[in-house]
Amino acid sequence: MTIWAYGRRIPKIDKTAWIFPSADIIGKVFIGPNVYVGAGAVIRGDYGTIKIGEGTAVEENVTIHARMNDKCVIGKNVTIGHAAVLHNCIIEDNAVIGMNTVISDYSIVGNSAIIAEGAVVKSKSQIDANSIAAGIPAIKIGEVNEKQKKFWSLVKEIYQDLANDYPRKLKKVNDLI
């Protein structure tokens, strides 16, 4: 992993978090316990602040950034799908952000909400807790049910397990030859 200080803005990463070696963490970034950060992710707190809560999965190629003197806050046990872009927004606990989704400035995604793949949550939008939103722009299409909550709870456990397993099991193939 590449951890970069930007001036006095130095990342703080809990020792139980797993940051994939090809991810970039830059500036004022706070990463909590049991967080998984996948390959190619870029979390850039060069002039804004990024906070990622316990047990969150930041999958491969995700980009997270914040505006100058502002913040992007991601709660606990959030799943952020591959190649999503989160910019200066708030994602509350247990939310699911689909692959290739964009969450734009000053938007709030509520607790346990699910944002479908490829959706665009426009600037200053609010997605209520336990809502399912999809489309461009993202609009509410339903409510999260118990079966979906159980499924996403299992997915979150898988990524938390990966955060614990990767330090022991990940090996470069050329190191094994």
| Successive 10-residue mean pLDDT values, the chain, 177 residues | 91 96 97 97 97 97 97 98 98 98 98 98 98 98 96 91 85 70
pLDDT for 107 equals 98
Nearest to 57 by CA among 76, 29, 72, 83: 76
The number of folded domains in the chain is 1
pLDDT for position 163: 86
Model pLDDT, residue 177:
59
Structural domain including 134 reads: 2-176
The predicted structure's pLDDT at residue 162: 86
Give the C-alpha separation, 165 to 125, whole Å.
37
pLDDT of residue 164: 86
Burial of 70 (0-12, 13-18, 19+ CB in 10 A): middle
Please name the helix (run of DSSP H) or strand (run of DSSP E) that holds residue 163, with its range, or none.
Answer: helix 146-169
Residue 169 confidence (pLDDT): 83
What's the one-letter identity of residue 77?
N
pTM for this structure?
A: 0.94
91: Cα within 13 Å, side-chain hemisphere: 35
CATH (domain of 158):
2.160.10.10
